[in-house]
Copies of this chain bind each other. A is one copy, B any other.
Amino acid sequence: MNSSKFAVALVHAPVLNKAGESSATSVSSIDVHDFARTCAFYDVAPVYIVHPAQGMQQFVKELTGHWLDGKRGDLNKGRREVLSQVSVVSTLEDVLAKDDYQIWYTSAQPPEDAVVVAPESLSEKEGKHLLVFGTGHGLDAKNLPNENGWLYSIDGIGKVRHLSVRAALAIYLDRLFR
């Protein structure tokens, strides 16, 4: 149980692939590091890394353990602190069993009939909130728990429609906490 009002989940399955099918992605070490660091910067915790495959869970545990348990963490206490908030789970349902979260999904294109809220508005809402990010081509919401709502998409003005999930997280947390 954590005292932070906000937590984050990065979902690797079920997510959509390029063809729009339900799929899974590999965990990227840089996502774990950037999610942990950006969340620590804003005191958001825990950071749930969601992947059903045991091998991928082990990978994340070894990556974080390298800094949490070993000499490297003695030498870089900031990184140890940052990675101490990472929690590995199999499914988003496992996250919901851990605390009484309201669930907020993110997407570059929320469903048309979705309840959509500004991230800024969450700071005024009571209770605990889980911001959920998808890898691949985004959350497979039909195969995920019912959400309380979606966050407004981040709108660009350029030639591409998608940010990296690392950049999206940073922008949402900045908007939430400014």
Contact = CB atoms under 8 A, between A and B. Distances in A.
Interface of A: 30, 33-34, 37-44, 78, 81-82, 154, 156-164, 166-171, 174-175, 177
A34 B167 contact: yes
Given A41-B156, A171-B171, A34 B177 contact: no
A7 to B, nearest CB: 13
B156 A163 contact: no
B166 A166 contact: yes
23 contacts: A30-B30, A34-B164, A37-B160, A37-B163, A37-B164, A37-B167, A38-B163, A39-B158, A41-B158, A41-B160, A42-B157, A43-B157, A43-B158, A44-B158, A81-B160, A82-B159, A82-B160, A157-B177, A163-B170, A164-B166, A166-B166, A167-B170, A171-B171
Given A37-B162, A157-B177, A168-B170, 8 more contacts: A37-B160, A38-B167, A41-B156, A78-B160, A78-B162, A164-B166, A170-B171, A171-B171
A115 B3 CA distance: 38
A47 to B, nearest CB: 12
Contacts of A162: 37, 41, 78
Nearest to A39: B158
Interface centre among A164, A168, A169 (most CB of B within 10 A): A164
B170 A40 contact: no
A87 to B, nearest CB: 17
A166 to B, nearest CB: 6
